[in-house]
C-alpha cells in the first residue's frame, strides 16, 4: 500500500450544493443516504487507474477533500489548501447564485485564504495564468433543475469557459450519471488523469506525446 502514489483534489462550492453526495457517489458508486452539513473537511479516497487500458497503466490514490461551505468557517479553511493538485468546483443547477460564487471560491483557494484588502476574494484572471492546477466544474441537482427550467442544462458554464475547465451536470441520487462508460465518467477519468500527469510529469510516467497534448 505504501507504494501507491497519491494526488490531492479539493471539492469546493457553496453550502448545500451537494459536494458530500457527489464525493460519496464518485468514491463508493452509490448514492449517499442522508448527508448532513459538512463541518471542516471530510476526505474520501478513490483508487484510480491512470491510463486505464493503455500501456503504462498505474494505479493512484485520488484524495477528494470535501470542504464544508459554511461562511462562518471561512477563517479556518485555509489550512486545507496546501499542496493541492486539482480543484473540483461544484454548483447547484437550481440556484444561479451558487454558480456566481464559484469565482469567489476559486479566489479563496488560490490565495490560500489570504484576503486581499482591495477586492476580498474576487477572482483575478491574471492569477490563473500563472497557476497550473487542473479544474473541473460539476453542476448538481440536475433532475430538480430540469423540472424548474428546461434549458438550464444546455447552458455552458461561464466559469468553466473562463478557466478552460471541463464540466458536466449530474443528479447525485442516481448512479447512472457516472456509470462506467458514460460520458461523465470519461470526463471524470480524464480529469483525474490530467491531475496525476500534472503532479508526476516527467519522472515516472512514460511519455506519450499524443495523449498529453489532447485538450479536454
Partner 1 sequence: MSFLVDLVIMCISQVIFFGGGWLFFLKHLFRDYEVHHSVVLLVFSVTFALSCTMFELIIFEILGFLDASSRLFHWKVGLFSILFTLIAVLPFYIAYYILGNIKIVPQKPHVRTLCTFGAWLAFLYLFWKLGDPFPILSPKHGIFSIEQCIGRVGVVGVTIMALLSGFGAVNCPYTYMHYFVRHVTDADIQSIEKRLLQSLDMIIMKKKRIAIAKRENLRKASMSTGSGGLWGMLKNVTSGSGQENIGPLQQDANALEELSRQLFLETVDLNDAVERINYSKTFKGRYFNFLGYFFSIYCVWKIFMATINIIFDRVGKVDPVTRGIEIAVNYFSIQFDVKFWSQQISFLLVGIIIITSIRGLLITLTKFFYAIASSKSSNVIVLCLAQVMGMYFVSMILLMRMNMPLEYRSIITQVLGDLQFNFYHRWFDVIFLVSALSSICFLYIAHKQSPEKNLY
Interface ranges with partner 1 (CB under 8 A) = 1, 4, 14-17, 37, 39-47, 61, 63, 71-73, 75-76, 79, 92, 94-98, 101, 148
Q: Cell numbers 476580498 correspond to what residue?
A: 120
Shortest distance, position 27 Cβ to partner 1, whole Å: 8
Cα–Cα dist 65/50, whole Å: 20
Q: Which residue lies nearer to partner 1 by CB, 92 or 193?
A: 92
Q: Which residue lies nearer to partner 1 by CB, 123 or 166?
A: 123
Q: Which residue lies nearer to partner 1 by CB, 17 or 22?
A: 17
Shortest distance, position 47 Cβ to partner 1, whole Å: 5
Q: What are phi and psi of 11, to 5 degrees?
A: -115, 110
Q: Which residue lies nearer to partner 1 by CB, 14 or 108?
A: 14
**Residues 129-154, buried b or exposed e (16+ Cβ, 10 A)?**
eeeebbbbbbbbbbbebbeeeeeeee
Cα–Cα dist 167/159, whole Å: 10
Shortest distance, position 44 Cβ to partner 1, whole Å: 7
Amino acid at each position: 500500500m505504501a507504494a501507491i502514489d497519491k494526488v490531492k483534489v479539493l471539492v469546493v462550492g457553496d453550502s448545500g450544493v451537494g459536494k458530500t453526495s457527489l464525493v460519496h457517489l464518485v468514491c463508493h458508486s452509490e448514492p449517499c443516504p442522508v448527508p448532513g452539513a459538512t463541518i471542516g473537511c471530510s476526505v474520501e479516497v478513490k483508487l484510480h487507474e491512470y491510463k486505464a487500458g493503455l500501456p503504462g497503466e498505474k494505479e493512484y490514490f485520488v484524495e477528494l477533500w470535501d470542504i464544508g461551505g459554511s461562511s462562518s468557517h471561512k477563517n479556518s479553511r485555509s489550512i486545507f489548501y496546501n499542496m493541492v493538485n486539482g480543484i473540483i468546483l461544484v454548483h447547484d443547477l437550481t440556484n444561479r447564485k451558487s454558480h456566481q460564487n464559484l469565482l469567489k471560491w476559486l479566489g479563496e483557494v488560490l490565495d490560500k485564504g489570504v484576503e486581499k484588502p482591495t477586492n476580498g476574494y474576487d477572482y483575478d484572471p491574471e492569477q490563473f495564468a500563472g497557476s497550473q492546477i487542473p479544474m473541473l466544474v460539476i453542476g448538481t441537482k440536475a433532475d430538480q433543475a430540469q423540472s424548474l427550467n428546461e434549458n438550464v442544462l444546455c447552458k455552458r458554464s461561464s466559469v468553466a469557459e473562463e478557466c478552460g475547465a471541463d464540466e458536466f451536470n449530474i443528479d447525485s441520487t442516481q448512479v447512472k450519471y457516472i456509470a462506467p462508460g458514460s460520458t461523465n465518467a470519461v470526463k471524470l477519468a480524464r480529469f483525474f488523469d490530467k491531475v496525476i500527469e500534472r503532479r508526476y510529469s516527467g519522472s515516472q510516467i512514460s511519455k506519450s506525446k499524443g495523449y498529453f497534448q489532447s485538450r479536454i
